[in-house]
Amino acid sequence: MNTNRPVALVDDGELLDDVLKLAAAAGCQVERLPDATAVRQHWNTAPLLILDASGVRECVELRLPRRGSVLVVTATQPSEELWRDAVAVGARHVVELPGGEEWLVSALADAAEAPAGSSGRVLSVLGGRGGAGASVFAASVGLTVLRNGDGALLIDCDPLGGGLDLVLGAETEQGLRWPELRLRAGRVSASSLHSALPGRTHGNGRLTLLSGAREGVGPEPDAVAAVLEAGSRAGETVICDLSREFGDAARAALERSDLAVIVVPAEVRACVSAKLVADRVREHGITARLVVRGPAPGGLRAGEVANVVGIPLLTSMRPEPALARSLDQGNFRPKPRGPLAGAARATLKALAAVPARDLRAAS
Ligand SMILES: Nc1ncnc2c1ncn2[C@@H]1O[C@H](COP(=O)(O)OP(=O)(O)O)[C@@H](O)[C@H]1O
Ligand SMILES: [Mg+2]
């Protein structure tokens, strides 16, 4: 639970009653504030801010700066002026009640379960060529977060990858895969993902997996966005395993990522194709780093690979011993002192260091 509660400046009595009732249904305590001056004191800390038309107007008049996680509620169709005010304070959604009740409950439930502090970071992992080791690396980062006792959400965004659950040896585990996941209202809470999807726990750590399947449709971009934002709002590290084809789902993930890592085997041809991938990633304005994977049959050094690909080196790793066998036997775990775990730790450190994109602004 948050020590910092969501706050509401809702002057309309009936609307306030509705909001408080929905908050109770979501298990979320909302603090009522009397005016915008009181709101100002919570502006930088409240995990969620709920305003009605007159509340948002007061905030605009006080010239409060834009921030993420602002919701504007209304009982009537939003006017142009209301939208202008909403945008001025950073709100991306005006929720019309009672129509938007389900949406609001979900937003409030997220706020109730989010840890106090910032939202979780989002990492995209891409391969510089087919079979580069991107899926294995994405899974290794997820398992490293789990081992650290933290929360991770691992999302398979490769419709032709055959299912990331296979990498984790989780293909027989119960829980939904992409084709069965139906997201209503364009929003989902992390707790509903935890209960619907396969996952692992380790101490306080939790790894939740949203895998593709062996048949059926791959993820839609809106669904990728909703799932990714749910994980991030809940403070989890979100790891997206992307295809190199840059379909709509991959783009939806990339646009919301704090960092993109390209895994490249230390081979000349892989460098050349990785450069094409890197160029595409750069078009999205995402910070991109390279993870170079051995062996280097021609003696290419990691620094040389980075020069050819044209993005900075994050780390390099030797081949993981006995990996192919453990993958086939469904018992893959990166060795704690092995190359994959070391590179995963370096990546998590780099992810923590990049300035965060304000994901909460999308709520
Ligand atoms: N770190 C690694 N060390 C050694 N071999 C690896 C490593 N990562 C991947 N591989 C090998 O490459 C294969 C393809 O890996 P995968 O992660 O599925 O690639 P991608 O997702 O980039 O297509 C694996 O089945 C494994 O045999
Ligand atoms: Mg893959």
- Give the H/E segment covering residue 202: strand 199-202
Structural domain contains residue 363 = no
DSSP state of 4: S
Q: Which of 126, 129, 135, 136 to mutate to test the pocket of ligand 1 (most atoms within 8 A of CB)?
A: 136
Distance CA 197, CA 215 (A): 17
Structural domain contains residue 173 = yes
* Domain tally, the chain: 2
What is residue 185's predicted lDDT score, i.e. its pLDDT? 55
The bound ligand whose nearest atom lies closest to the alpha carbon of 265 is: 1
The bound ligand whose nearest atom lies closest to the alpha carbon of 167 is: 1
Distance CA 241, CA 254 (A): 10
Distance CA 16, CA 50 (A): 10
Q: How confident is the model at residue 360 (pLDDT cuts 50, 70, 90)?
A: very low
Q: Whose CA is nearest to atom 23 of ligand 1?
A: 131
Q: Whose CA is nearest to atom 9 of ligand 1?
A: 133
Contact 294 CB / ligand 1 (< 6 Å): no
What's the domain range around 18? 7-113
Distance 357 CA to ligand 1 centre (A): 30
Are both 46 and 176 inside the same structural domain?
A: no
Distance CA 134, CA 292 (A): 11
Are both 246 and 348 inside the same structural domain?
A: yes
- pLDDT tens digits for range 219-253: 999 999 999 988 998 889 999 999 888 899 999 99
Contact 130 CB / ligand 1 (< 6 Å): yes
The bound ligand whose nearest atom lies closest to the alpha carbon of 159 is: 2
What is residue 309's predicted lDDT score, i.e. its pLDDT? 97
* Least confident among 107-111, 121-125, 257-261, 295-299: 107-111
Domain end call among 53, 83, 113: 113
Domain end call among 60, 84, 113: 113
The CATH number assigned to the domain holding 79 equals 3.40.50.2300
Are both 212 and 325 inside the same structural domain?
A: yes
Are both 151 and 179 inside the same structural domain?
A: yes
What is residue 93's predicted lDDT score, i.e. its pLDDT? 85
* Least confident among 12-21, 66-75, 132-141, 296-305: 66-75
Nearest ligand 1 atom to alpha carbon 132: 22
* Beta-sheet strand order (sheet of 31-32): 31-32, 7-9, 49-51, 70-74, 93-96
pLDDT score of 54 more than 90: yes
Tokens (6 digits) for 318: 């030797």
Are both 193 and 242 inside the same structural domain?
A: yes
Mean pLDDT over the full length of the chain: 91
Contact between residue 1 and residue 114 where contact means Cβ atoms under 8 Å apart: no
Distance CA 215, CA 179 (A): 8
Distance CA 210, CA 198 (A): 7
| Residues lying with their CB under 5 A of ligand 2, a single-atom ion | 134-135, 161
Rounded to the nearest angstrom, the gap between the alpha carbon of residue 93 and the centroid of all alpha carbons in its chain is 19
Question: Collapsing DSSP states into helix, strand and coil, what is residue 343?
Answer: helix
Distance 290 CA to ligand 2 centre (A): 16
Domain end call among 88, 113, 138: 113
Residue type, 110: D
Judged on CB neighbours under 10 Å (0-12, 13-18, 19+), 266 is buried
Distance CA 260, CA 110 (A): 26
The bound ligand whose nearest atom lies closest to the alpha carbon of 243 is: 2
Q: How confident is the model at residue 118 (pLDDT cuts 50, 70, 90)?
A: low
Q: Whose CA is nearest to atom 11 of ligand 1?
A: 133
Are both 223 and 288 inside the same structural domain?
A: yes
Contact 322 CB / ligand 1 (< 6 Å): no
Give CA separation, 259 vs 114, 237, 255, 354, 358, in Å.
22, 12, 10, 7, 13
The CATH number assigned to the domain holding 189 equals 3.40.50.300
Are both 78 and 216 inside the same structural domain?
A: no
Residue with tokens 């730790």: 345
Contact between residue 317 and residue 261 where contact means Cβ atoms under 8 Å apart: no
- pLDDT tens digits for range 17-39: 999 999 998 888 999 999 999 99
Distance CA 109, CA 177 (A): 23
Are both 208 and 334 inside the same structural domain?
A: yes
Nearest ligand 1 atom to alpha carbon 339: 1
What is residue 218's predicted lDDT score, i.e. its pLDDT? 86
| pLDDT cut 70: percent of the chain above it | 94
Distance 359 CA to ligand 2 centre (A): 25
| pLDDT cut 90: percent of the chain above it | 75
Report CA Rg, the chain. 22
Residue type, 148: N
Q: Whose CA is nearest to atom 8 of ligand 1?
A: 133
Structural domain contains residue 2 = no
Nearest ligand 1 atom to alpha carbon 129: 22
Q: Which of 125, 211, 242, 323 to mutate to test the pocket of ligand 1 (most atoms within 8 A of CB)?
A: 323
Are both 142 and 281 inside the same structural domain?
A: yes
Distance CA 122, CA 351 (A): 8
Are both 212 and 296 inside the same structural domain?
A: yes
Structural domain contains residue 210 = yes
What is residue 363's predicted lDDT score, i.e. its pLDDT? 35
The bound ligand whose nearest atom lies closest to the alpha carbon of 315 is: 1
* Beta-sheet strand order (sheet of 237-242): 199-202, 205-210, 151-157, 237-242, 122-127, 259-265, 288-293, 313-317
Distance 209 CA to ligand 2 centre (A): 15
What is residue 168's predicted lDDT score, i.e. its pLDDT? 97
**Count of helices and strands (H, E) across the chain:** 13, 13
Q: How confident is the model at residue 361 (pLDDT cuts 50, 70, 90)?
A: very low
- pLDDT tens digits for range 203-220: 989 999 999 999 888 899
What is residue 359's predicted lDDT score, i.e. its pLDDT? 39
Structural domain contains residue 282 = yes
Structural domain contains residue 362 = no
Q: Kindly provide the residue ranges of all beta strands, DSSP E only, lying in 12-161, ordered along the sequence.
A: 31-32, 49-51, 70-74, 93-96, 122-127, 151-157
Are both 109 and 126 inside the same structural domain?
A: no
Q: Whose CA is nearest to atom 10 of ligand 1?
A: 133
Contact between residue 311 and residue 276 where contact means Cβ atoms under 8 Å apart: no
Average pLDDT over residues 275-279: 96
Distance 263 CA to ligand 2 centre (A): 11
Structural domain contains residue 82 = yes
Nearest ligand 1 atom to alpha carbon 136: 17
Structural domain contains residue 249 = yes
Average pLDDT over residues 177-184: 85
Distance CA 349, CA 16 (A): 43
Distance 196 CA to ligand 2 centre (A): 23
Average pLDDT over residues 310-320: 97
Average pLDDT over residues 1-14: 82
Are both 98 and 127 inside the same structural domain?
A: no
Q: Whose CA is nearest to atom 15 of ligand 1?
A: 133
**Nearest Cα to Cα of residue 309 among 297, 284, 292, 285:** 292
